[in-house]
Structure 1
Amino acid sequence: MMSNKMSLFLKIMLFAGLAFLYIPLIILVIYSFNDSKLVTVWGGFTTEWYGKLLKNDQILSAAWLSLKIAVTSSLAAVALGTLAGYALARIKRFRGNTLFAGMVSAPMVMPDVITGLSMLLLIMQVQMLLQGALGNDVAWLDRGFFTIFLGHTTLCMAYITVVIRSRLTELDQSLEEAAMDLGARPLKIFFVITLPLIAPAIASGFLLGVTLSLDDVVITSFLSGPGSATLPQVIFSKIRLGLDPQMNVLATIFIGVVGTLVIMMNYVMMRQATKREYEMAAAYKAEQKALEELSA
């Protein structure tokens, strides 16, 4: 009797949690088709705001810039985070291990204001040193795409390192040890065995990095310059003047794109997991058959 009550309680809590998370998103999607300029008053069904958004050059250019920064910074963060996570998970002890782990995790616990300010000061100092030493124009270090890319890569790398390190810690090392016993080199073991096994974690880390980059405002505010406003900055600047129905449309599009990507990634990872389990079962059956033939 007690178990039934607990089961009902857990179901209610699960439903309440999902409702708390997704009902606001559903309302937002519904009001993206609102005919009224007042986003809180329903005035009928229309797709007018979708057409206006597609003609809004400011929002489209900001969205394109944010997307480019998110993808490039996430790819760089995945590469660096994978190396850092592998070093922390596989190389148990080395000089400076504690310091390295703390420095990698620092951007996660550091306030974004401190991270953005420190990155800005560092970039300005490097720019001054290069100009003094080389005497060349270093306009590529001016605040804009590249500086935002550096800041977002630093932020995303910390989170991706934790994801990759956790996956490597849970990974069974028997396959890697068997490959080493058979004479495989460490680099080949990493690309042939380790990398495919941590591929789901890498994909998850990449999606997490894209989300963090698209969502960041504080660090971007320090590192952006004229003509390099990202989408969150444009949204916040418009909200100060009042809610715009086009923001509902923009959010709806992002929900659709992100939801589609998540479903596709989950589908691909589930297929890979099923295929891997099938191959392992087939190998086990082949091994059992060979043993039976030898015993016969």
Structure 2
Amino acid sequence: MSQSPSRKLPPAPLEYLRRWPIQLSLVVVAIFLYAPLLTMMLFSFNDDRSITQWSGFSLKYYKQAFQNESLIIAFMNSLTIAFFSTLISLVVGAMAAIVLWRFRFGGKTLFDGTMAVPIVVPEICLGVGMLVFFAKVLPWPQGLPWPLNLGAIIIAHVSFSFPFVAVVVRARLGSFNRELEEAAKDLGASDFRALMDVVIPHIQPSLIAGALLAFTLSLDDFVITFFTAGPDTVTFPVKVYSMVRFSVTPEVNAASTILIVVTVLLTFLALKFQGSSALTAGHDGGAGEKK
């Protein structure tokens, strides 16, 4: 006897997402994670300065945020730091990924492990380390013109951004066919031309994804920036924190909403360009290494 087409079949043993306990848990986790952010974004449009009572829709606090000169300067500082740190992190991270993928050398395991330190070490530890470094080892000159006065923060951001670029690029290199590079060399291309004409086009999506990821990490970083910034180098997250210390107003909510929207858009673009290449990380079986 055949089943009716309209009758819903029970979930198969491995179809976990069709089981109501799993669906309920996902909904609860989503509410727990995103309800505070959505509430803050909603109250950024509140007509009243109160953050607990809704009195009407208004865009006046966004207008105040865009007219706040110190907030605009802080945002420009964040954009400048993110831009330069992204450029440097992209070059250093891509070079490190290619070296680890292609060559065998003494201390490679140690070097590979060291690359992961900025990713796994708590930011507060990196911040304190950067504070000691720029206070005792490499004191950054004060009173330099903009954007040279942002140099210490840029160096600090590069130190924790380029490992993320290296991870993304190395994942993409895991799917590269070395025969293409060898064919280019057989046709007369030098190592540099083979790299630029064959390898770089293959890893271009990961370069874009890594750059967007590094830009996002730098743009919304607070802890490390807080320890390395001077009195004349306030960034957007640090400025928002200083505003919150006095009171949480809709203007603070508006500024935070702007940062969240920019961060989410950049993260979405990074994930779109990266695709599923990260799934191949660590599964190249060492085929990319030069014997």
TM range, smaller chain:
0.7 to 0.9
Q: Matches of 2:93 and 2:246 in 1, distance apart?
A: 40
Residues 127 and 138 of structure 1 are in contact (CA less than 8 Å); yes or no, is this contact kept in structure 2? Answer: no
Deviates more, 1:171-180 or 1:43-52: 171-180
The equivalent residue for 1:109 is: 120
* Alignment CA distance shift 1:170-1:13 (3 Å): farther
Q: Matches of 2:142 and 2:200 in 1, distance apart?
A: 37
State the 1:52 CA deviation.
0.9
Number of paired residues?
261
State the 1:8 CA deviation.
1.7
Q: Matches of 2:50 and 2:217 in 1, distance apart?
A: 30
Matched, 1:216 2:216: no
Q: Matches of 1:12 and 1:260 in 2, distance apart?
A: 28
**The one of 151, 163, 185 aligned to 2:156:** 151
Q: Matches of 1:204 and 1:18 in 2, distance apart?
A: 25
Q: Matches of 1:185 and 1:231 in 2, distance apart?
A: 46
Residues 116 and 218 of structure 1 are in contact (CA less than 8 Å); yes or no, is this contact kept in structure 2? Answer: yes
**The one of 60, 64, 85 aligned to 1:48:** 60
| Greater fraction of residues in helix | 1
- Provide, for residues 37-77 of structure 1, a one-character-per-residue CA deviation record: whole Å limited to 9, x for no partner: 11222111111111111111121111111111112111111
* Identity across the alignment (%): 33
The equivalent residue for 1:290 is: none
State the 1:11 CA deviation.
5.3
**The one of 111, 116, 120 aligned to 1:100:** 111
Residue type of the alignment partner of 2:111: F
Q: Matches of 1:139 and 1:51 in 2, distance apart?
A: 32
Residues 167 and 198 of structure 1 are in contact (CA less than 8 Å); yes or no, is this contact kept in structure 2? Answer: yes
- Provide, for residues 265-294 of structure 1, a one-character-per-residue CA deviation record: whole Å limited to 9, x for no partner: 677789xxxxxxxxxxxxxxxxxxxxxxxx
Residues 179 and 189 of structure 1 are in contact (CA less than 8 Å); yes or no, is this contact kept in structure 2? Answer: yes
Residues 1-296 of structure 1 aligned to structure 2 (within 5 Å)? 1-3=10-12, 6-9=16-19, 18-91=30-103, 93-127=104-138, 144-261=149-266
* Alignment CA distance shift 1:215-1:256 (3 Å): closer
Residues 144 and 224 of structure 1 are in contact (CA less than 8 Å); yes or no, is this contact kept in structure 2? Answer: no
The equivalent residue for 1:292 is: none
* Alignment CA distance shift 1:188-1:11 (3 Å): farther
Note the aligned Cα RMSD (angstroms): 2.9
Residue type of the alignment partner of 1:66: S
State the 1:257 CA deviation.
3.4
Q: Matches of 1:145 and 1:18 in 2, distance apart?
A: 37
Residues 11 and 18 of structure 2 are in contact (CA less than 8 Å); yes or no, is this contact kept in structure 1? Answer: no
- Provide, for residues 181-205 of structure 1, a one-character-per-residue CA deviation record: whole Å limited to 9, x for no partner: 3222121111111112111111111
- Provide, for residues 153-212 of structure 1, a one-character-per-residue CA deviation record: whole Å limited to 9, x for no partner: 101012211111122123232322222232221211111111121111111111211221
Residues 64 and 251 of structure 2 are in contact (CA less than 8 Å); yes or no, is this contact kept in structure 1? Answer: yes
Question: Which runs of 5 or more structure 2 residues have no equivalent in the other structure?
Answer: 1-9, 276-291
Q: Give the TM-score of the pair, scaled to structure 1.
A: 0.77
Residue type of the alignment partner of 2:105: F
Residues 134 and 228 of structure 2 are in contact (CA less than 8 Å); yes or no, is this contact kept in structure 1? Answer: no
Q: Give the TM-score of the pair, scaled to structure 2.
A: 0.78
Residue type of the alignment partner of 1:47: L
